């Protein structure tokens, strides 16, 4: 390289790429799930609507270069997505719960009849590979809040039943004592 300005520019580009790879690796590591999508032919309005739904659910949606993602995955020792990182790719990072990205994408594809525009390539849930069918199955799971509510209801049911049984027993005891009191009052009178 005879031109020092070109060398500085190349160094800057390499540094920017390293930073981008580190940022992507951090996103993947911190995300509870990552869904890889192909979104060719999607309009700006459709992407904007989808991004709004993602934001509401705490999901981050990014279009990233496959080479940078591949390098980030190499840094994390994840090779399961190598085959799907071809063509245009978008990534939905589930930061709050693993189900939200899959559910939003699946619902959006059904509502917008955008099956020909969006394709689920694969996913990672807590570092484990999921094929497109697995991502669709994940989308059918209830949300974290619903699961917690169901669990709390299940845990609360035995306590509620115990309170009911105990109050019924106390009520029976009160009725029995009252009946004895009435019987004694009748025999004394």
In a shared domain, residues 32 and 109: yes
In a shared domain, residues 80 and 92: yes
For the segment 64-75, the average pLDDT, to the nearest whole number, is 92
For the segment 31-57, the average pLDDT, to the nearest whole number, is 87
Could you say which of 120, 141, 162 is where a domain stops? 141
In a shared domain, residues 63 and 121: yes
In CATH, what number is assigned to the domain containing residue 100?
3.30.70.1730
In a shared domain, residues 125 and 187: no
Lowest mean pLDDT among 111-115, 140-144, 176-180: 111-115
In a shared domain, residues 129 and 84: yes
Residue 25 has pLDDT above 70, yes or no: yes
Split at pLDDT 50, 70, 90, the class of 60 is: very high
Q: How far apart are CA 152 and CA 150, in angstroms?
A: 5
Total domains present in the chain: 2
Residue 3 has pLDDT above 60, yes or no: yes
Domain extent, residue 183, equals 142-189
In a shared domain, residues 23 and 51: yes
Supply 81's token pair. Answer: 């997505």
In a shared domain, residues 186 and 118: no
Of residues 159 and 80, more confidence is placed in: 80
In a shared domain, residues 101 and 21: yes
* Residue 51 and residue 105 in contact, taking contact as beta carbons nearer than 8 Å: no
Of residues 138 and 8, more confidence is placed in: 138
- Give the per-residue pLDDT at 187: 81
Q: Cα torsion for 157, 158, 160, 163, to the nearest 10°?
A: 170
Buried b (16+ CB within 10 A) or exposed e, 54-93: beebebbbeebebebbbbbbeeeebeebeebbeeebbbbb
In a shared domain, residues 110 and 152: no
In a shared domain, residues 25 and 93: yes
In a shared domain, residues 53 and 130: yes
Residue 167 has pLDDT above 80, yes or no: no
- Give the per-residue pLDDT at 113: 64
Q: What is the pTM of this model?
A: 0.69
Could you say which of 125, 141, 157 is where a domain stops? 141
Of residues 6 and 99, more confidence is placed in: 99
In a shared domain, residues 131 and 57: yes
Q: How far apart are CA 47 and CA 82, in angstroms?
A: 25
């Amino acid at each position: 390289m005879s031109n020092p300005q070109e060398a500085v520019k190349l160094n800057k580009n390499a540094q920017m790429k390293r930073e981008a790879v580190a940022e992507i690796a951090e996103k993947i590591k911190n995300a509870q799930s990552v869904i890889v999508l192909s979104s060719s032919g999607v309009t700006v309005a459709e992407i904007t609507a989808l991004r709004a739904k993602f934001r509401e659910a705490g999901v981050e949606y990014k279009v990233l270069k496959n080479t940078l993602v591949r390098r980030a995955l190499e840094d994390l020792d994840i090779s399961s997505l190598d085959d799907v990182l071809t063509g245009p790719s978008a990534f939905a990072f589930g930061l709050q719960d693993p189900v939200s990205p899959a559910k939003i994408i699946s619902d959006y594809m059904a509502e917008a009849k955008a099956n020909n525009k969006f394709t689920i390539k694969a996913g990672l849930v807590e570092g484990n590979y999921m094929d497109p069918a697995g991502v669709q199955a994940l989308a059918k799971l209830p949300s974290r809040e619903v699961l917690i509510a169901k669990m709390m209801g299940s845990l609360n049911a035995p306590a509620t039943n115990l309170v009911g049984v105990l109050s019924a027993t106390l009520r029976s005891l009160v009725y029995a004592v009252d009946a004895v009191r009435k019987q004694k009052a009748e025999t004394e009178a």
